[in-house]
């Protein structure tokens, strides 16, 4: 005695955000039903457990069918299978591509390959994020990476256009892509205290000032890669350490710029020479890929 089949299909596909989030978070149908019950879904409309179960199943099926379309969000707008209101479409996409910063922190700078995918079990254990959700987030990274990797033009805009995401989310993706491409080492213990947001900020700065696109606006090429010539030119910075006059001049300029802007200003001013030397040492070595990867370790260790 059992329900063999149970479906509900509306002409308009209505997405309930609450259930969608549960699905995205990787909960099984049974868990999702439990969660919804705890959130008081039963009090609405005098529903029973069966009703909730059936409703959750229906929605999960809808999400699964939509997932295929979400791989390339522009398809969602001109597919014919589901009639989804525009605001729901935006929500579907944005939520699908949202990621946990804890998770992103774990894979930041790692190669977005099948090999890394195998580590997802450990990451799931470590972060407490369901494996299913980890897989989705990781696959999203890979998908975004693959699409924008070879594209010209500003990285953030590319992500935004191709995946129809909000600007802030697109920026986060840009950071992930940027780190994955340059393979910056972020997993060392010494760097553990840094959050995803910290790195994302750095990525933003690097993209704005150090990449090919940033250096040569006319080129409109490759936001993803660091400008080789620029890194080469960094060698010249040695003068700032070796030449006393230039050192002083550099110091006064930097101090002028930073005065009253940072809290540790006095310390910085006192230690300027050492700091500058360390930074410039890192900078001059950036011609080697290995050193580029270790940029952040070096900055923390030696800066």
Q: According to the binding rule CB under 8 A, does residue 82 interact with other proteins?
A: yes
Distance CA 303, CA 301 (A): 6
Residue of the chain from 52, 174, 175, 200 that contacts other proteins (CB under 8 A) = 52
Give the range of 19-27, 60-68, 101-109, 289-297 binding other proteins by CB under 8 A: 60-68
Is residue 58 part of the contact set for other proteins (CB under 8 A)? yes
Please provide the distance, in angstroms rounded to a whole number, between the alpha carbons at the two ends of the chain. 70
Choose the stretch contacting other proteins; rule: CB under 8 A; options: 1-9, 120-128, 251-259, 276-284: 1-9
> Counting beta carbons within 10 angstroms of the beta carbon of residue 8, is it exposed (0 to 12), middle (13 to 18) or buried (19 or more)?
exposed
C-alpha 35/C-alpha 123 separation (Å) is 24
Return the number of other C-beta atoms located less than 10 Å from residue 239's C-beta.
13
Among 49, 71, 81, 248, binds other proteins (CB under 8 A): 81
Taking a C-beta distance cutoff of 8 angstroms, is the pair 110, 120 a contact? no
User: Would you tell me how many other CB atoms lie within 10 Å of the CB of residue 97?
Assistant: 25
Residue 51 is a binding residue for other proteins (CB under 8 A): yes
Nearer to other proteins, 157 or 269 (CB): 157
With CB under 8 A as the contact rule, which of the stretches 79-87, 121-129, 187-195, 279-287 interacts with other proteins? Answer: 79-87
Q: At what angle do helices 17-24 and 86-97 cross, to 10 degrees?
A: 20
**Options 30, 39, 64, 289; binder of other proteins; rule CB under 8 A:** 64
14 binds other proteins, rule: CB under 8 A: yes
Give me the least distance between CB of 228 and other proteins, in Å please: 23
Instruction: Say whether residue 291 binds other proteins (CB under 8 A).
Output: no
Burial of 105-124, coded b for 16+ CB within 10 Å and e otherwise, reads: bbbbbbebeeebeeebeebb
* Chain residues 150-169 in contact with other proteins, contact rule CB under 8 A: 151-153, 158, 161-162, 164
DSSP string, 103-154: HHHHHTTS--SHHHHHTHHHHHHHH---HHHHHHHHHHHHHHHHHHHT--S-
Query: Which part of the chain contacts other proteins (CB under 8 A), choosing from 82-90, 103-111, 122-130, 232-240?
Result: 82-90
Contact positions vs other proteins (CB under 8 A): 1-12, 14, 16, 44-48, 50-52, 54-55, 57-58, 61-62, 64-65, 74-75, 77-83, 85-86, 151-153, 158, 161-162, 164
């Amino acid at each position: 005695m059992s329900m063999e089949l149970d479906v509900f299909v509306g002409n308009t596909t209505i997405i309930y955000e609450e259930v969608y989030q549960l699905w995205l978070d990787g909960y099984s149908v049974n868990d999702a039903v439990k969660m919804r019950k705890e959130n008081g879904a039963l009090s609405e409309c005098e529903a029973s457990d069966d009703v909730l179960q059936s409703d959750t199943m229906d929605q999960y099926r809808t999400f699964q069918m939509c997932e295929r379309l979400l791989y390339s969000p522009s398809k969602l707008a001109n597919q014919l299978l589901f009639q989804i209101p525009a605001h729901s479409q935006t929500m579907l996409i944005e939520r699908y591509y949202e990621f946990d910063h804890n998770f992103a922190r774990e894979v930041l700078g790692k190669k977005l390959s099948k090999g890394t995918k195998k580590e997802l079990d450990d990451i799931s254990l470590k972060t407490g994020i369901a494996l299913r959700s980890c897989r989705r987030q990781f696959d999203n990274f890979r998908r975004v990476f693959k699409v924008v990797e070879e594209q010209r033009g500003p990285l953030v805009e590319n992500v935004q256009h191709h995946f129809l995401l909000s600007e802030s989310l697109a920026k986060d993706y840009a950071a992930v892509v940027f780190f994955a491409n340059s393979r910056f080492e972020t997993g060392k213990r010494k760097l553990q205290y840094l959050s995803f947001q910290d790195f994302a900020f750095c990525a933003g700065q690097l993209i704005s000032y150090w990449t090919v696109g940033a250096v040569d606006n006319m080129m409109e090429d490759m936001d993803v890669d660091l400008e080789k010539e620029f890194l080469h030119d960094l060698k010249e910075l040695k003068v700032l350490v070796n030449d006393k006059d230039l050192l002083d001049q550099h110091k006064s300029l930097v101090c002028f710029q930073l005065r009253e802007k940072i809290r540790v200003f006095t310390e910085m001013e006192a230690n300027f020479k050492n700091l500058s030397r360390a930074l410039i040492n890192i900078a001059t070595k950036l011609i080697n890929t290995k050193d580029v990867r270790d940029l952040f370790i070096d900055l923390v260790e030696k800066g």
